[in-house]
Amino acid sequence: MAHQPQRGGGGNDRNRRDNRNAPVDGPDSDIVEKLVHINRVAATVKGGRRFSFAALMVVGDGKGRVGFGHGKAREVPEAIRKATEEAKKTMIKVPLRENRTLHHDGNGRWGAGKIMMRAAPPGTGVIAGGPMRAVLETLGVQDVVGKSTGSSNPYNMIRATFEALKVQSSPRMVASKRGKKVADLMGRRNDGASAPEAIEG
């Protein structure tokens, strides 16, 4: 009699959880998923308490697109699946400079969560912690300095980070809004940066 593999074994679930941060297969094979936070919540009902799990996920393609979502279910895998689906539906596009860092510094705030981010030179790496690091890594940022100065609540930190990313703009976007050429804006910025040196000299 042939041996049949067991269904729903704990080892298989453990392997799926360990591979959660790896790119997924299928049409979205370039999407990277990161589990930021999972929490057990309880609802008081007539018969007692009903426990469920809430998951917070961040997804991105590592090329300037990132999204987050949260889901709640009676089981952890189902909560993660719901959060991942919501994150993929709410992805935003963020312009990156040289495909490695931000174009300019930014601040974000959501509730009691406050964060700041600064563009960094090559080789700096991602200097940020917790939920902010997960967002920046899935976004594709390689060099950035980030700091949280408010609440450590992961939901508020994620939303504050996205508020800071939404206001990021590239020279091309600014030039199109002002009806100018990118070379004019870049030249003016360079002239402004060299002005103090000329005064000191």
Tens of pLDDT along the chain (201 residues) come to 455 554 444 444 444 444 444 444 445 568 888 899 999 989 888 888 999 999 999 999 888 889 999 999 999 999 999 999 999 998 988 888 888 888 888 888 888 889 898 888 888 888 888 889 899 889 888 888 988 888 888 999 999 999 988 888 776 666 666 666 666 656 555 444 433 333 343
Cα radius of gyration rounded to whole Å, the chain: 22
Among residues 12, 36, 152, 169, the alpha carbon closest in space to that of 105 is found at 169
Distance CA 192, CA 183 (A): 14
What letter would DSSP give residue 69? E
pTM equals 0.69
